[in-house]
Amino acid sequence: MTTIGLIGGMSWESTAVYYRLLNEGVRARQGGLHSADVLLHSLDFSDIAEMQAKGDWEAAGDVLADSARRLERAGAGCIVLCTNTMHKLADRITSATKVPFLHLADVTAKAIKRSASRRPLLLATRFTMEQRFYRDRLSAFGIEAMVPGDAERDDVHRIIYEELCRGRIELASKARYLAIIADAAARGADGVILGCTEIGLLISQADTTLPAFDTTALHVEAALDFAAPAESRAA
């Protein structure tokens, strides 16, 4: 099995889900006492969030590039960035390393393409919803993501940073997300992208009739497919 390098901590709440799902996935695929071969560099999200708020993406890119290089030197055979928002800086990682980088937007787009959805709602941080780096990547696959209105984007973003990243799961916030999804469905959305790695802590496919694309779970599956391909699993 190829060693999976995780750049995590943004937030650690979802990085913990990555770690659990990777190990559950290996156990399901290989059985017995097998677990994932993982290297994790967990960053201090307070520092990253401050850079995001200030728009200091250059400094944030330096941090991610350094993290990726450290993982590569330690033996990682691929890099997984455990956050959607920071894929804004994916090029900084790919230019700093030689090992494959598993881009979360590409993974998500491929999953959507396997479904009937082509105009899903994108729920994510304000950065991901409003800037073009993520939606343009989806668009290259023929996926035209919708985003909520201004007030809805405010609520989606606030709930991520003030609640989910702090380990708080509020029923009122779940109801707000589901109302936003229902409104988007009435406007023609044919799916919903859980486009922040924490959102799966709040809502899931069981909560909506629209196809739900949990980016965390999809990213994990892609990492496992890369690190433990079928022939290796059978060996």
Q: Report whether pLDDT(168) > 70.
A: yes
Q: Look up the CATH number of the domain holding residue 147.
A: 3.40.50.1860
Same domain, 139 and 208: yes
Same domain, 127 and 206: yes
Give the bridge partners for 213, in sequence order.
193
Domain interval for residue 91: 4-103+218-234
pLDDT band at 228 (very low <50, low <70, confident <90, very high): confident
Same domain, 225 and 136: no
DSSP 67: H
78 assigned to active site: no
**144 exposed, middle or buried (CB, 10 Å; 0-12, 13-18, 19+)?**
exposed
Task: End-to-end CA distance of the chain: give it in Å, rounded.
Answer: 11
Q: Report whether pLDDT(233) > 90.
A: no
> Nearest 5°: CA angle at 47, between 172 and 70?
115
Same domain, 72 and 95: yes
Q: Give the pLDDT score at 230.
A: 54
Same domain, 31 and 118: no
Same domain, 132 and 225: no
Q: How far apart are CA 124 and CA 19, in angstroms?
A: 21
- Dig out the tokens for 82 from the structure: 């455990």
Same domain, 161 and 98: no
pLDDT band at 66 (very low <50, low <70, confident <90, very high): very high
Same domain, 168 and 93: no
User: Looking at 82, 196, 197, 215, which residue is catalytic?
Assistant: 196
Q: How far apart are CA 16 and CA 9, in angstroms?
A: 9
3 assigned to active site: no
Give the bridge partners for 85, in sequence order.
none
Same domain, 138 and 160: yes
Percent of the chain with pLDDT over 70: 97
Same domain, 140 and 118: yes
Same domain, 189 and 124: yes
User: Looking at 83, 108, 125, 197, which residue is catalytic?
Assistant: 83
pLDDT of 16-31, one tens digit each?
A: 999 999 999 999 999 9
Provide CB contacts within 8 A for 17, sequence distance 6+. 197, 200, 201, 216
- Collapsing DSSP to helix, strand or coil, 78 comes out as strand
Specify the number of domains making up the chain: 2
Q: What is the average pLDDT across 114-143?
A: 97
pLDDT of 78-93, one tens digit each?
A: 999 999 999 999 999 9
Q: How far apart are CA 27 and CA 193, in angstroms?
A: 27
pTM listed for this prediction: 0.95
Same domain, 42 and 22: yes
Q: Where are the beta strands (DSSP E) in 59-182?
A: 78-81, 121-123
Q: How far apart are CA 9 and CA 27, in angstroms?
A: 24
pLDDT of 48-60, one tens digit each?
A: 999 999 999 999 9
